[in-house]
């Protein structure tokens, strides 16, 4: 698992406030887990430049529904293009194997023992409006922990679980292995936040 980073974001606003215009979303908190340091960290909006260096040095960044939500919003802040960084979206793999988009909490409840989400994104936005940044960080880090545990379970067991409409817990196959990367040694350590 080398230098992989598991991440999640929380926003200051909702789809009801901004519609489908991802350019209008504002970050409240980004939380990460780093396998290299075995630690969690959280960043508020004005601390995001510290996050870019971590992402750029990562072997891969891992999220849940991150390709269609987290990364487009983070790209509003990032001076480059985050899609150039190796990325795994667990929800994308799950949808490819099950045929539907499953919520993080539903997959976690069916797969993991005693590891669940602690709240929801709307609660995090209420905390933002109340100035409770510490609560948002705890919630976001818990989502990162749930994503990390699902990733590890899927990587180790090549399957996850979900509950059918009848309540039956069903397994489905996943493959979270990283693709074999071909790097150009001249650009492998390029700092993407510098303007060249």
Alpha-carbon span 128 to 134, nearest angstrom: 10
What's the pLDDT at 13? 77
Whether residue 104 lies inside any domain: the answer is yes
Note every long-range contact of 19-24, with CB atoms under 8 Å and residues 24 or more positions apart, other chains counting. 22/72, 22/73, 22/76, 23/76
**73 membership: H or E segment, kind and range:** helix 71-74
CB 131 within 8 A of CB 88: no
**Which residues on neighbouring strands pair with residue 61, listed in sequence order?**
5, 87
Whether residue 180 lies inside any domain: the answer is no
Of the two residues 162 and 187, the one the predictor is more confident about is 162
Report the pLDDT averaged over residues 81-93: 94
Which CATH number goes with the domain that contains 84? 3.30.420.10
Average pLDDT of every residue of the chain: 86
| Number of compact structural domains in the chain | 1
pTM recorded for the entire structure = 0.86
Nearest Cα to Cα of residue 14 among 126, 140, 102: 126
Whether residue 187 lies inside any domain: the answer is no
Whether residue 186 lies inside any domain: the answer is no
Nearest Cα to Cα of residue 1 among 156, 117, 123: 156
Whether residue 33 lies inside any domain: the answer is yes
Whether residue 178 lies inside any domain: the answer is no
């Amino acid at each position: 698992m080398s230098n992989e980073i598991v991440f999640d974001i929380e926003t200051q606003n909702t789809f009801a406030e901004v519609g489908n215009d991802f350019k209008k979303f504002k970050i409240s908190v980004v939380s990460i887990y780093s396998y290299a340091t075995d630690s969690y960290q959280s960043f508020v909006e004005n601390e995001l430049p510290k996050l870019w260096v971590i992402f750029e040095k990562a072997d891969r960044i891992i999220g849940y529904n991150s390709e269609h939500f987290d990364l487009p919003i983070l790209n509003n802040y990032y001076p480059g293009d985050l899609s150039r960084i190796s990325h795994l979206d667990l929800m994308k793999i799950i949808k490819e194997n099950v045929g539907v988009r499953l919520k993080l909490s539903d997959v976690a409840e069916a797969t993991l023992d005693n590891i669940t989400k602690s709240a929801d994104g709307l609660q995090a936005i209420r905390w933002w409006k109340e100035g409770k940044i510490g609560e948002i960080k705890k919630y976001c880090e818990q989502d990162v922990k749930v994503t990390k545990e699902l990733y590890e379970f899927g990587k180790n067991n090549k399957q996850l679980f979900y509950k059918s409409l009848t309540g039956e817990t069903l397994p489905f196959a996943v493959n979270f292995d990283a693709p074999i990367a071909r790097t150009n040694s001249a650009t492998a350590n390029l700092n993407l936040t510098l303007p060249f």
